[in-house]
Chain A
Amino acid sequence: MLINRQQWPMIRAVLFMSAAAVALYIWDGAGRPHGPRGGSPLGVTFGVGALAIMIFCAALSLKRRAPHWRIGRAQAWLRGHVWLGLFAVLLVALHSAFHRGGAMTTALWILLGLVTLSGLFGVLLQQFIPRLLLHAVPGETLAQQLDRQFINLRKLAEQVVAEAAGTIDPTETGATTMLVKQVAAAAYASKIEGAAQTALGPEAMRRFYHDYLVPFFRGAPGATLASRRRSDSLFAALRTMTPPEQAAHVDELEAICERRRQLIRQRRLMRVLFSWLIVHVPLSWGLLAASAIHAVVALRFGSAL
């Protein structure tokens, strides 16, 4: 959810409710000899209000399972989830009169803190990761399609290399790391590019495939082509070793590698974008369950544990 001017009505409403709650808290506390208490009628009201908001917030995940139900626009639900969720933190603080309490309430505080922080982290990620995706991954695809795309790109690269260098054996291992660069340097130094290119072209392409493309498409850590900068220099070297008629093949290979890098970036960014949910969702359910237990025990036995 992008924080923009459209959020203002909700923010204003929550600020107003917060001010009203704090004013009530001060007024109620002033009339009590031991100050405000969670067990007072107002304190219980704050607690019940916070629990109700938590239930509402948790219901968002149910709403997501039935996105077209006529129970309010998803945008309104999400705004309510974020801003009322923050309001609930204030209500909990007022309910507890800013005391940590016993073991149960301390655990509740920790859970609430983690849920709130993870949620805020999620909102923060949503402010810039979509923009990053927009600009850094022009060829973005559906997340479900990524694996298929990786396979297709590998096949395409193999096809291009096969067209340029004849049949290739993808299982053959490359034993001459940096050979391509060395040969390129030698060819350049001896100023026999024309002859060298013609002779080296297919072999250079094959070596390039085994030494660089295969590790890159296997996702080997530290693959040279995973870096745009190093990829540029490698392809520049490859161009010096291939005859002009293979330039189109080299260009195509370079484009395939760039596309794969983009998709890798997309996967990484999307993992980050959704990472906070791993913490937020289970802890939220835990918080809700613990809060419900706390409420039952407190109301039934008059103890906050």
Chain B
Amino acid sequence: MGKAMPLATFSEGRLMTPEELRQIGIFADVDEKALLKYPGAVRKRLFAAGDVICREGEGGTTAFYIVEGSARVFIGRRLDAARNRRRKGLIARVGEWFGQRRLDRPPHPADKLIPIDATVDLRYGDLAATLHPGDVFGEMSCLNLAPRSATVVAETDCEMIEVLRNVYELLQRSKTFKAQMDQKYRERALDNHLRNVPLFESLDAVALGELKSACELISVEAGAVIFNEGDPADAMYILRVGQVRVSKKFPGGERQLAYLTRGDFFGETALLRAAPRNATCTAVDHPIAEAGGRKRRPARVELVRISAETFDRVIRGYPDILKRLEEAAERRVLSQVRAALTILPSVPAKQVEDLGLLQGQNLMLIDLEKCTRCDQCAQACSEAHDDGISRLIREGPRYDRFLVPSSCRMCMDPVCMIGCPVGSIRRTEDLNIFIEDWCVGCGVCAKQCPYNSIQLHPLESFGEDVSQRAKRVAETGEVVEVTERAVVCDQCSSLPTGPACVYACPHDAAVRVDARQFLHGSGLAGNDRSAL
């Protein structure tokens, strides 16, 4: 770990001429005239061992190519700090004895991959790796303005090339650079990505090698449809760079089922069942880049394509893979069935649209005629989480006599999932939004949520003593890690009684409803008036 020190900015370092760039292999076949168009877009950077090159969660617009030296890339989150602490006190102890117990989520294995914006991924167990000459990091920040996904500190004295987007796009068109990046990916990440697919984790080295050599590395422009629902299945994909939206048509409209990130796989269900595609997959751009306003070329989404023939050839020799595939496919189908709630064709009132009520698959409403403002709902939410943080803020817009508080409504289109630089926000099989403990606190999900349902909380809320952290930094010179973590309502899915807020409301005022059913039938409320 390096000493905490100010970050260098792009203006530091020395500008490089096209002649100098040509000395570096990756620029060998880049058009010199094109390079001349962007003077100042490439800088040579020298870092001493211990220098911080970038920090997780911060904004960034450049990519780095390591020419010489090595750098440590890591997520500075101490997982023991990020995890929830046990609550103390007599009532909490008694509560543990006969109160509610959360159903345990399966822990992540130490070798679970955490996707970051570099040519390597991190493992959940140590959250650190080393970058070597020829490696690139910061590509997503450069192309998509994504926050930095990890902290990078020079391990030895390093020479790096830092480039802005326009030059990086030139590089992407360079065959030399593309070949080098593909080669790096095959060497350093593809193995892990294939192993990360549960279906392939038990493959022996020979079969994995065969699979690796048969994989195609392809790229598509953001916005392009990778395949449509109903298309014949000709391949499965692993996401290498960027994000992919999975959507499905239901009676009455299309629904976004999930957003996939680096290391995720898709398209295997149809291959397995030799059936048409059951969902549409589209490459998506980063939301921050989309909101940037400046006209820009869509980012590229890079994929690993495993053709149907390769897939068949590999799984034929491995019956256990076939079994795993079937299980995974079954889970996906099940989650789609859960999502297949009828979308009612009625045209919603403008206020319903403005408030985004129809997005809510599990919308929380508080009947203000019944509510005595006792705040038991928020208190119960706080009590139900070991970190003591309430995910419910009893404030928000009103719809008729109902308050629509700030609490996750399990949107049909979970846009909060777009753009997480480390893939820590995900949708569980019961359609809940869940934030993993390796969140780097960059706040993209909170910005993306249109309903203010995701909050960033300082890490001390999760049990880390700030003074201890300061002491640790002073003693060890460890780089200061991010100080916040995003929290979102998990619908208390791990509690047997369901959402604590509803369970604890003594006045029948708090309800969780499917907005479409609730709003159907009358100008206000739905068929299920008994829920009120």
Binding site for B on A (CB under 8 A): 1-2, 6, 64-71, 73-75, 77-78, 126, 129-131, 133-134, 138, 141-143, 145, 270, 273
Known contacts A126-B507, A130-B371; A70 and B496 CB within 8 A of each other = yes
Check B373 for interface membership: any CB of A closer than 8 A: yes
- Pairwise interchain contact A67-B369, C-beta atoms closer than 8 A: no
Cα distance, A75 to B148, chains bound together (Å): 47
Are B379 and A67 closer than 8 Å at their CB atoms? yes
Are A6 and B508 interface neighbours, CB within 8 A? Answer: yes
- Across-interface contacts of B379 in A (CB, < 8 A): 67
Residue of A whose beta carbon sits closest to that of B402: A134
Q: Which residues 352-381 of B sit at the A interface, judged by CB distance below 8 A?
A: 368-373, 375-376, 379-380
Q: Are B99 and A138 in contact (CB-based, < 8 A)?
A: no
Q: Is B95 an interface residue (CB 8 A)?
A: yes
Q: Is the CB–CB distance between B373 and A1 below 8 Å? A: no
A3 to chain B, nearest CB (A): 11
Interface SS majority for chain A: helix
B contact residues vs A (CB 8 Å cutoff) = 91, 94-95, 98-100, 368-373, 375-376, 379-380, 383-384, 393-395, 398, 401, 495-497, 500, 503-508
Q: What are 23 residue pairs bridging A and B, where the CB atoms are less than 8 Å apart in the complex?
A: A1-B506, A1-B507, A1-B508, A2-B508, A64-B506, A65-B91, A66-B383, A67-B503, A68-B384, A68-B503, A69-B95, A69-B98, A70-B496, A74-B503, A75-B505, A78-B506, A126-B372, A130-B371, A133-B368, A141-B395, A142-B393, A142-B394, A143-B375
Taking CB as reference atom, which chain A residue is nearest B94? A66
Neighbouring A residues of B398 by C-beta, 8 Å: 138
Across the interface, B100 reaches (CB within 8 A) one of A1, A70, A129, namely: A70
**What A residues does B497 contact at CB under 8 A?**
68, 70
Q: How far is the CA of A126 from the CA of B394 in the complex (A)?
A: 18
From the candidates A75, A133, A145, name the one contacting B507 in the complex (CB within 8 A).
A75
Other than the given A74-B503, A75-B507, 18 more pairs (CB < 8 A) read A1-B508, A2-B369, A2-B507, A6-B508, A68-B100, A68-B380, A68-B497, A69-B99, A69-B100, A70-B98, A74-B506, A75-B505, A130-B369, A130-B371, A133-B373, A142-B394, A142-B395, A143-B375
Contacts of B504 in A (CB 8 A): 67-68, 74
Instruction: Please name all residues of chain B whose beta carbon is closer than 8 Å to the beta carbon of A138 when the two chains form the complex.
Output: 398
> Quick one: closest A residue to B381, CB to CB?
A68
B503: A residues at CB distance < 8 A? 67-68, 73-74
Known interface pairs A70-B99, A70-B496. Does A75 touch B508 (Cβ–Cβ under 8 Å)? yes
A134/B401 in contact, CB under 8 A: yes
- Asked if residues B100 and A67 are in contact (CB atoms below 8 Å), the reply is no
Contacts of B395 in A (CB 8 A): 141-142, 145
Complex Cα spacing A66 to B370, Å: 21
The answer to whether B91 and A66 touch across the interface, beta carbons within 8 angstroms, is yes
The closest CB in chain A to the CB of B393 belongs to A142
Cα(A258)–Cα(B373), bound, Å:
22
CB contact between B373 and one of A74, A131, A273 (< 8 Å): that residue: A273
